[in-house]
Amino acid sequence: MIEAKDCVYTSCYCEENVFKIIDKYPGNIANIFAVFISNPQKQCAIWRQKSSTDPEFPVIWDYHVIAIEKNETGCVVYDLDSTLPFPSNLEAYANQAFRPKTGRYNMDLLLERFGQRFRPVKGSELLETFSSDRSHMLNNGKWMANPPSYPPLFKENLGHNLFQFLDFTDSSLPGSWMDYQQFVDFFKADS
């Protein structure tokens, strides 16, 4: 099991935080996944995030990335941006962070517009195929958030491909988009 104190963390660079978790993963790499979370509008609601001023209000991210480990007792989530325990049981995390359809009118309307979609990617495939030059964090030549102190996770032969991982029509990279139930079922299978 990974502890938060052993992780490299930079606020607003969730994809790199997860890459680093997977890169240092002490177990069988077949047991860990990166999960890209977004939707076609690039406006998805996630609760229990450190950047929220109130736990009952979600943060609306263009995307977010978490790591999920499948082990003999189930699945755990590694999200360094969450106020939930690190790691968290997947079921507890999903119920609190994604707030699946509740039957409450206002919540269902919110999720209709800001609902999440999920793209799980095997840890080994992420390490092989992910590449970022961090250009998505520049606005008129200035950083929107200070970058990590280590060099970008850039592979010349791949170019900057973060947006391909977030594209709902691009299937050239590993993983495929799922709705909430498909995501939950994917991680329940064989656990």
| Catalytic positions, written as ranges | 14, 64, 79
Give first-to-last CA distance, the chain, whole Å.
16
Beta strands in the chain (DSSP E): 32-38, 44-46, 59-61, 64-71, 74-78, 88-89, 117-122, 138-139, 142-143
Nearest-angstrom CA–CA distance, 27 and 43:
33
Nearest-angstrom CA–CA distance, 21 and 40:
27
- As given in the structure block, the two tokens for residue 53 are 């001023």
Nearest-angstrom CA–CA distance, 18 and 68:
10
C-alpha neighbours within 13 Å on the C-beta side of residue 5: 0
